[in-house]
Amino acid sequence: MTGLSASERQAALEKILIPARIVPVLTIDRVEDGVPLARALVAGGVKVLEVTFRTEAAAAAAKAIIAEVPDAIVGIGTVLNVDDLRRAQELGARFAVSPGATPALLDAACASDLPFLPGVATASEVMQALAKGFNLLKFFPAGQSGGIPMLRALAGPFPQTRFCPTGGIDAANVATWLAEPNVIVAGGSWLCPASDVRAGNWEIITGRCIAAMKQLRRR
């Protein structure tokens, strides 16, 4: 059973996400890429990382990053079910993220101390998450689900909610998303495209992170 209240779990998640501004969504195909990728991101000032459970290498890569890159704050994404949530906690993840949320997954997250960011795309899904005590939510897929106009519409009936939009976020629009009052952080994969990861272009990834963080600080 959890030792934390819903508000304490939310506060722990906010403490991680609010200073981050950007959370890169990492789909890692080769275990050996995990540590150098994480080091490249951290060197560029991007420390909160979401390693997605989308590949066979994901769990081992996340475990290696947690062990070898102490400055990285590692979360697990693409958490689809209760087993995924349990695996994320066993790996030592600092938080977990889902693209959506079933009642079973929300219940399991309520019974866990692991901070959890459930995914929503509709008003009904927001209501289901709020009913379980989650008011910090992932808006996914953000671009395809109505974008900023949808977030503004949700702000009316749900003023207590805040969001991490993911899906369709890139260097050109991330600052616009972050300017929305109910957005506290944005997620995306543009900082480390698969082509750069495959080629081991770690310095390019670091440079891209530095540029992105400088851009956001100017606003």
Residues serving a catalytic function are 50, 138
Closest CA to 74 of 85, 64, 86: 64
DSSP letter at 27 equals -
Q: 206: burial class by Cβ within 10 Å (0-12, 13-18, 19+)?
A: buried
Give the whole-angstrom CA distance, residue 132 versus residue 28. Answer: 31
DSSP one-letter string for 96-130: EE-SS--HHHHHHHHTSSS-EE-EE-SHHHHHHHH
Q: How many helices (H) and strands (E) does the chain have?
A: 10, 9
Whole-angstrom CA distances from 103 to 3, 46, 83, 93, 109 are 21, 32, 14, 22, 10
Contacts of 150 (CB under 8 A, 6+ apart): 139
Which amino acid, residue 1? M
